[in-house]
Amino acid sequence: MDKIFITDLKVKTIIGIYESERHDKQQISIDLAISFDAKSAAKTDNIQSTIDYNQISNKIHSFVSKSNFALIETLAESIAEIIILENAAKKVKVCVHKLDVVDNVRDVGVRITRKSMNLIFLSIGSNINPHKNINKAYKFLKNEFNKIRVSPEYKNPAIGFTGDDFINSVVRIKSCKSAKKVYKKIKKIEKKILKQNKNKKLTSRLIDIDILTYNQMVVKNKKFIIPRSDITKYAHVLKPLSDIAPQEIHPILQQTYKSLWKNNVKFHTQRLDLLDAFR
């Protein structure tokens, strides 16, 4: 992986747990290694196609000089988050050095490595004990991916067969895992819920969890298709997706989900009952 590195960025800041460190700024040194794809910059020879190390240096210097942390671990984490969020960085290594703070030691510090998080939207549906099983799915997803965000829930008729109404929602997760690994994780979650339910004959509708989108990836294989075609077929998929991610763009159609919902009248004829607002 290609890298841009910044070495020995010196900044004066408030950092430390002792009383003397809470009043007077001390000089620290920061090393950065930012992983990204440099091929585009190499081809175009254009600064707009790469990560601007001058801009990053100034940004981090300004942030750190105004910060007031007790632990260098917290400072390092904040620096990594800024770089990943504001640049097309796949991975960043941050090393923060505190200088001349321990007798007979030149410097002490912390090194961390953080990866960029992929933005993933999942559809969830059930028509057998739907509240119970969908809440189980939320719990398992939260345990697996830590922070999740859940759209409003909608009730809609079964499509393609006779059965009870479904409850559907969309969940946003973030993960550094590949699409293949995320797929395996959600299939394991489905199996956990299926095993916990005693009604073996109807297990196919206890819970359905599918990857709708994974960043702007377009992929088609035997196991999954991304983006999932259900987005442009069914109101119970597009509506909660447009609720939770109105300004996100469909990878193929290059339209926002808000505009896709607003401009496609066919979806408005499908019965859809709002159950819960955002969780």
pLDDT in tens, 70-117: 999 999 999 998 998 777 678 999 999 999 888 899 999 999 999 888
For 235, phi and psi rounded to 5 degrees?
-65, -35
Residue 277, pLDDT > 70, answer no
Q: What is the model's pLDDT at position 7? A: 97
Residue 199, pLDDT > 90, answer no
Q: What is the model's pLDDT at position 202? A: 41
Residue 200, pLDDT > 50, answer no
Q: 274 forms bridges with which residues in the sheet?
A: 154
* Distance from the Cα of residue 153 to its chain's centroid: 21
What domains are there in the chain, each with its CATH number?
Answer: 2-115 (3.30.1130.10), 118-276 (3.30.70.560)
Distance CA(33)–CA(74), nearest Å, equals 18
Q: What is the model's pLDDT at position 79? A: 95
pLDDT in tens, 170-183: 999 999 888 999 99
Q: What is the model's pLDDT at position 54? A: 94
* 91-99 and 107-115 beta bridge pairing: antiparallel
pLDDT in tens, 208-242: 999 999 999 999 888 889 999 999 999 999 999 99
- Give 15's contacts (C-beta < 8 A, 6+ positions apart): 21, 26, 28, 67, 69, 70, 72, 75, 98
pLDDT in tens, 123-144: 999 999 999 999 999 999 999 9
Q: What is the model's pLDDT at position 279? A: 56
